[in-house]
Structure 1
Amino acid sequence: IPLCLPSSVSFIGTPQECEKAHFVPGYNLGGEGFDIVTMERKGAYVIDTETWKIGNGNCRMYCNRYMNGEKQKVPVAVVDWRTLPKCSLKVSSVVYDSVETLVSDSTSSVSNNWTIGLDVPVDPSAKVGVGLGGSHSRDSTFAMKKSKQDRYTFLHHSINCKFYGYRLATSPPLSQEFKSALDIPPYSSKTAPLYHNLIDTYGTHYITQVSLGGEIKATTATDGSVEVTYGDQKKRTDIISNDDNPRWRETFEFGTITINMKNKLKFSVYDEDSYWNSDLLGECSFDLRAGKVSDSCMLNHGTFFFSYIVECAPSLSGNQCQEYIPSAMSPSLAEVFHTRNGVLLGKMGNKYEKPANERL
């Protein structure tokens, strides 16, 4: 009996070992039908993934180091089984500006050229777009529905770990059910329902390569909020959910501040994702200017518009309230006051005396 070899190296098991051994994890994920339009597994098998005997009751086996070196068998259709010590707990995020880019990228998990053999006849003179792969997936349906309500940016977040991997043999054996399903007359208008039923059952493709592990993913529309910072002060708006053109109504009071070259007014726009984290959509900083200011800045995705008011303290003026200006008394007050803090004067310069009964 061979010692347990590295996980990527197979060996031939005896009939007794093969009968008792378990299949490797995920042995029957390969060969399953797959619908490229809905991006869904069909649960019906094109390839036979249950037959394991290669002759004389023997089988090919591997040592699974994730299960204490247990010897496990693989179906005849499976080759190159291995363990994959690859697991990343980092969140991967992608931003899509349109439904079309999201739909196009939804088939990115299909690693081979899935369009081979799919000829879509289109008049060359007609300027049209053909939506096929992934156009009816859950992500695409969600995005299309949202796009009809307003303009949206979509974010896709995912975490994945891969523990096992394998591929199918070049000419794997077909499942008996699929062989029987292929026994139908040539395609015609009368037999079209039979072919539609075949595709509905087995999908448009079948899985030839498997990476087994786990993945968490979500596609969301923008749930926006803004953080406004000046110096040590930070203010944050409420979250506006599922709106790609949000209008925040909050007004923030920063009180008395000192304008200097060190501090800038900073705006940070976030997509507040309720799954794992907040994604920074963009930020911009400005030097404060006196008066009522309306401005905008370009973010990574979209444009942010804002306005603010800065009022200089008494005796200060200029673009950043750093220039001294005299604050003279108005002519009308100068006629009735001797000094800024002095007593009242009559128009002829006579001293004004309060009657005795009005004195303190």
Structure 2
Amino acid sequence: MPAVHLKPGCFLFLYLFFQDALSICTIGNASECRDANVVPGARLAGLGYDMVTLQPKGASVIDVNTWHSANGSCTLCRNEHLGNARQRLPVSLVDWRTLSSCRRSLSSGLDHSAAELSRSATSDITNDWRADLILPPKPGTGANLVLAGSKSKLVEFGTTRSKSDRYSFASHQLQCLYYQFRVKAQPLLAPEFTRSLSRLPTALNDGTKYQYKKLVDTYGTHYLKSVELGGRYRSVTAIRTCEAASEGYSAEEVKDCLSLDAHVTLRLTAKSSAGYQKCKDIARAMKHNEVYQAFSDRETELRGGRVRQSTDLFFSGDSSAFTSWLESLSTHPGMGRYALEPLHHLLPNSDPRQANLRRYISDYIAGDALSLPCTRCPHGSYHHLHQPCSCLCRGESHVDRNCCSKGKGLGRLVVTVREGRDLRGDAFSKTDGYAVVKYGEAEARTSMISNNQHPQWNAELDLGEVKAESGHELTIEVWDQDAKRDDLLGTCQVPLTSGTHGETCFLKYGKVTYGYTFTCGPHLGGATCRDYMPSPAE
């Protein structure tokens, strides 16, 4: 292979290229610094953060207002997203750089319980927020203990709905990241926060606990150690899992249709795309034009950018609001992904108040913990291997894998044929009687009792899962078995209704008493099992 010789000019070009790439931030003089603006989103790095609500507090923990040294110089960083403008970096922040992570790409997911949804609430936290806090261990498969976000909007949205019915939660999210930086190891603390720390008593007891409570109420439990800034919009739609199944579609199909609706709004796909007609059918079945209108119970989270209040960026059918929001992110970024540190890490190890604050923060988070018992799986089902708070069925003709009825009118039919009285078949011999019960395609028969005008069958005939439909009736036939051809002694038909019923079938000669029980399938009710019945997760 021949040797490659580079001219001196090439080395100079490469040197200048890499030097420029690495010198995003440089030292500016006093005049340059006075004329520069602060980097976008710097104030967010100074805010306290509450792990219980998963919200930043309004009070600053880190000093992000000090940007200059004693001689007036400062760190100036080039912002590629704003025409390479040089902007001031507060002295407590380091490793500032621009990112290029923004595509019109929608991510989606489906959680099958409030317990699963609660785990996704902290998906943007990039480190172990527990650190050295004294917190309960993670529970086993029997329950889900929510520590982070136990009072967050998302968790409350999920738990409130799960108290009334079984829900799945479809999540749709779009995130753009433009900047990142971190707080240096020994940052300047905000003056008011420093004063609040100085007022903390050196002992933590019932008499002094109030001062620690005031601090956490004001500043939260953590501070933002590093941040990736930009914008994030997340929409979580509540879907009644078994109601959707009773209409003939799954929560997964609803989620996919919501994804399609959002893609149409964001102009990422056309209405003529594959699957659109299926989604239109679902919407029409729910008496709406679009699926997002039929499933409108949702919670949204917006970070960064500017947008009109209550604007739905994904499911409004208006792409202009989304475009406007996207364009505002470079100048008004919000929190994207972030790492957290507990507030007590800002105190020296030798200060007794560090251990006190650590203990109070731990007690505060643990005291607001939310226990979400896992759903007790019904007979014949089992817990999901990777999602232990969800139940699965093996999927049969009448129930799906989520243990929901696959359609309206479904139920189990059991007929009890008790006895016959005064049955007469052949003129010169006693009756060899048996009974046949039918509903739709389902059929069962009793045994034959020979030479008996008053047979006592007491036979329980399980017709299995049937569908109550207009035009179908429960039929009972009574027969006399003969060597050549069985004789039909009589037939009775009754409309099928849910519950337990006693019936008498009067024949030309004699009668038969019987009863039946029609038990509606999961989440179904009403006379013909066609009404949806909400039922909370147990």
Q: State the TM bucket, normalised to the shorter chain.
A: 0.5 to 0.7
Q: 1:297 to 1:90 in 2, by over 3 A?
A: farther
Distance 2:115 2:180 in 1: 31
SS in 1 for 2:116: helix
* 1:305 is aligned to 2:403: no
Q: 1:42 to 1:148 in 2, by over 3 A?
A: same
Instruction: Check conservation: 1:295, 1:306, Cα contact below 8 A.
Output: no
**Match of residue 150 from structure 1:** 165
**Match of residue 86 from structure 2:** 71
Q: CA deviation at 1:154?
A: 1.3
**Match of residue 239 from structure 1:** 286
Q: CA deviation at 1:172?
A: 1.1
Q: CA deviation at 1:87?
A: 0.6
Would you tell me which structure has more helix in proportion to its own residues? Answer: 2
**Match of residue 106 from structure 2:** 91
Distance 2:46 2:96 in 1: 14
Q: Deviations over 1:314-360 (max 9, x none)?
A: xxxxxxxxxxxxxxxxxxxxxxxxxxxxxxxxxxxxxxxxxxxxxxx
Instruction: Check conservation: 2:238, 2:295, Cα contact below 8 A.
Output: no
Q: 1:221 to 1:227 in 2, by over 3 A?
A: closer
* 1:295 is aligned to 2:397: yes
Q: CA deviation at 1:34?
A: 0.4
Q: 1:192 to 1:59 in 2, by over 3 A?
A: same
* 1:208 is aligned to 2:225: yes
Q: CA deviation at 1:9?
A: 2.4
> Between Structure 1 and Structure 2, how many residues are aligned?
259
**Match of residue 218 from structure 1:** 235
Instruction: Check conservation: 1:8, 1:82, Cα contact below 8 A.
Output: no
Distance 2:123 2:44 in 1: 19
Q: 1:150 to 1:77 in 2, by over 3 A?
A: same
Q: Deviations over 1:244-283 (max 9, x none)?
A: xxxxxxxxxxxxxxxxxxxxxxxxx999655647xxxxxx
**Structure 2 stretches lacking a partner, 5+ long:** 1-15, 251-276, 297-311, 316-395, 410-439, 442-538
Q: CA deviation at 1:306?
A: 3.5
What letter is aligned with 2:86? K
**Match of residue 257 from structure 1:** none
* 1:13 is aligned to 2:28: yes
What letter is aligned with 2:64? T
SS in 1 for 2:154: helix
Distance 1:25 1:134 in 2: 27
**Structure 1 stretches lacking a partner, 5+ long:** 242-268, 278-293, 312-360
Distance 2:71 2:208 in 1: 43
Instruction: Check conservation: 2:287, 2:294, Cα contact below 8 A.
Output: no
Q: Deviations over 1:163-214 (max 9, x none)?
A: 1111111221111111110122121101112211111110010011122211
Instruction: Check conservation: 1:36, 1:107, Cα contact below 8 A.
Output: no
What letter is aligned with 2:179? Y
**Match of residue 191 from structure 1:** 208
* 1:118 is aligned to 2:133: yes
What letter is aligned with 1:70? A
**Match of residue 179 from structure 1:** 194
Q: CA deviation at 1:101?
A: 1.8
What letter is aligned with 2:60? Y
What letter is aligned with 2:406? F
Q: CA deviation at 1:91?
A: 1.7
What letter is aligned with 1:210? V
Instruction: Check conservation: 1:155, 1:221, Cα contact below 8 A.
Output: yes
* 1:102 is aligned to 2:92: no
Q: 1:270 to 1:32 in 2, by over 3 A?
A: closer
Distance 1:218 1:68 in 2: 32
Instruction: Check conservation: 1:49, 1:76, Cα contact below 8 A.
Output: yes
What letter is aligned with 2:96? W
Q: CA deviation at 1:307?
A: 7.8
Q: CA deviation at 1:29?
A: 0.9
What letter is aligned with 1:106? A
Q: 1:270 to 1:49 in 2, by over 3 A?
A: closer
SS in 2 for 1:130: strand
What letter is aligned with 2:211? L
Q: 1:59 to 1:295 in 2, by over 3 A?
A: same
* Identity rate, percent: 35
Instruction: Check conservation: 1:7, 1:83, Cα contact below 8 A.
Output: no
| Greater C-alpha Rg | 1
What letter is aligned with 2:147? L
**Match of residue 382 from structure 2:** none
**Match of residue 77 from structure 2:** 62
Distance 1:74 1:199 in 2: 28
Q: 1:93 to 1:204 in 2, by over 3 A?
A: same
**Match of residue 151 from structure 2:** 136
SS in 2 for 1:29: helix
Instruction: Check conservation: 1:102, 1:140, Cα contact below 8 A.
Output: yes
2:55 paired residue among 29, 40, 65: 40
SS in 2 for 1:182: helix
* 1:167 is aligned to 2:182: yes
Q: CA deviation at 1:94?
A: 1.6
- After superposition, the CA RMSD in angstroms is 3.5
